[in-house]
Amino acid sequence: MTKNYQFPSGFWWGSAASATQTEGSHNGTKGKDIWDHWFETEPNRFFEGVGPYYTSDFYNRFKEDIKNMKATGHNSFRLSIAWARLIPAGTGEVNQEAVDFYNQVINELIANEIEPFVNLYHFDMPMTLQEKGGWENRDVIDAYVAYAQQAFALFGDRVKTWFTFNEPIVPVEAGYLYDMHYPNVVDARRAIQVAYHTMLAHAGAVKAYHQAYDGKIGIILNLTPSYPRSQHPADLKASRIANLFFNRSFLDPAVKGEYPAELIELLKEYGHLPTTLPEDRALLKENTVDLLGVNYYQPRRVKAKDHLPNPHSPFMPSWFFDRYEMPGRNMNPYRGWEIYEKGIYDIMIDLKENYGNIESFISENGMGVQDEQRFIKEGRIEDDYRIEFIKGHLKWLHKAISEGCNAKGYHLWTFMDNWSWMNAYKNRYGFFSVNLETKERTAKKSASWFAETAQKNGFSE
């Protein structure tokens, strides 16, 4: 029996990318950001020594890429503006060359009937501001809001959907807890201050936008449901605390305008509350988001700790739970991530039941696979595994929508294979493969499938 998965009229079909991962930092005039600096100082930390200089060359090939987006059924596309390209020193003078570039990209998208979703920050702090402390420094909040206001003024006549941050927890975790990204700090106190200042910057940008413009502004969060090993109270508590740290720490202030009381009490108990000012509370409360982007890749499975943490070790979220490897889980062996399609449904139901059913969409979902050349047949990568991955998630998203969830679209990460932070091109995610020597783009099988799905606004099977 055939089942139809038809999506609501006006559903957003598209994909997402970031400036640092696609533009190529050697292209055009651009100030140095933390990735440029880190690659210059520690290239050994990057897969095969490949840094952000030579990426997918979107800077020079955006017209070709946007034409391909149109052919692939896109009616929307999320890009990011590189702060250090638009304002090379982080503050002060605007780079007219960057203004011209982003104007061309935005105009080209609109000419192809693709709505530009523009994100202001995707892990790319200008180095001049990082040298002043980055998000640890409260002055950087003002610099960010000024940058956001500049972007709104330059592009807000055409861009009606904005996002302040993509996955703001990643710089916190990777940069200040786990030594995965620059500045390679392992200090929960500093991490928590960075997280707090990031949300103040977010609220400041939301306030500035609503004061002068009538579009929508939101934030993009990587929500990773925390599933307990069992229904034992200790496992349930472990999953609740994991959820507090990794989801609600940004979700609650963004959507509700306040932090969870349980998280505040926990940080207070361990002496890790951030430094705040009295006026912060009203800023957060009065400037909640219009729209929520949800990046979903994998679940988080946890259990109660088997052993007490070393009291002399750095304070970490993992003091409160252990990872749990569920037997029989479905894995993507290339990325080391579990594939659990129902997670997308669980997130949407949570947003419906606990967050006012806020307007949302899947802003990233995707499958990274290594050595995709293995799957070439007659010149095309036959990525049926990616099609099945997308289908599986869309089925659960469809179910959530049928139950009243306010989900408006689905964006794949990503449109074409791009440079991935420390992993370079190790795993490929795109609808289009990119030849690293020639930069030639070649459509994969998933591109054709997505084009047909977008055209029909759904699929059957």
Max intra-chain CA distance, the chain: 64
Q: Is 452 a catalytic residue?
A: no
Alpha-carbon span 422 to 19, nearest angstrom: 15
Alpha-carbon span 140 to 238, nearest angstrom: 34
Q: Which is the catalytic residue, given 108, 341, 364, 372?
A: 364
Give the C-alpha distances (Å, rounded to integers) separating 447 from 94, 100, 332, 396, 434. Answer: 37, 30, 20, 21, 13
Of 125, 124, 199, 205, nearest in space to 162 by CA: 205
Q: Nearest 5°: phi and psi at 7?
A: -105, 160
Q: Which residues contact 69 (CB under 8 A, 6 or more apart)?
A: 14, 15, 77, 109, 112, 114, 415
Alpha-carbon span 369 to 17, nearest angstrom: 17
Q: Where are the alpha helices (DSSP H) in 34-74?
A: 34-41, 58-71
Whether 268 contacts 315, CB under 8 Å? no
Whether 216 contacts 288, CB under 8 Å? no
* DSSP-assigned beta bridge partners for residue 166: 220
- Determine the residue type at 118: V
Exposure class string for 254-281: b at 16+ Cβ within 10 A, else e: bbbbebbeebeebbeeeeebbeeeeebe
User: Which residue numbers are catalytic?
Assistant: 364
